[in-house]
Amino acid sequence: MDRKILLVDEWRAVRLLGRRVVNSLGLQTCEAPNARAAWEILNAEPEIPAVLLEWRPEDRDCVDLLQKLTQSPRHSRPAVIVCGDTLDRTQIAAALQAGADEFMQKPYSRDIVREKLEQLGILELAESHPIKALPTAL
């Protein structure tokens, strides 16, 4: 079965971007607009290996979800990569405190997502990546 990454973000456009990035790495996605919906999906599909979670420290549900998810040992639960608007020391400390495995700043690039998934053991380490075509953004 294809492995799925759960994308949690309030904005559809952000989820769409995430979907394109994750699909390009050979993984499938499913999406949730908020932490509650995400929790339901995770309960229905416990084999999901990773969650890209929009980081909203002011949102109780979001912090709860992160804490609930990361209570159990790393091998028996999905990895959680929190995605925040800014990379800053207090945000990082809060995310670490709540149990986050990784942090990415939005908007994330394909390479950063790939590297984080590799570090977390979800994608296999590729030492030398084949030469890629020029990014379409150019």
Between β-strands 102-105 and 79-84, what pairing exists: parallel, antiparallel or unpaired?
Answer: parallel
Concatenating the DSSP letter of every residue in 62-95 gives HHHHHHHHHTS-GGGS-EEEEEESS--HHHHHHH
Residue 43: CB minimum distance to other proteins, A: 26
Q: Any contact of residue 13 with other proteins (CB under 8 A)?
A: no
Q: Any contact of residue 75 with other proteins (CB under 8 A)?
A: no
Q: CB under 8 A: which stretch of 3-11, 12-20, 36-44, 112-120 binds other proteins?
A: 112-120
Q: Any contact of residue 1 with other proteins (CB under 8 A)?
A: no
One of 14, 119, 121, 123 touching other proteins (CB under 8 A) = 119
One of 87, 94, 106, 122 touching other proteins (CB under 8 A) = 87
Task: Considering the complex, state which of residue 1 and residue 133 has its C-beta at the smaller distance from other proteins.
Answer: 133
Q: Any contact of residue 70 with other proteins (CB under 8 A)?
A: no
Alpha helices in the chain (DSSP H): 12-24, 35-44, 60-70, 89-97, 110-119
Write phi, then psi, for 119 (nearest 5 degrees).
Answer: -60, -35
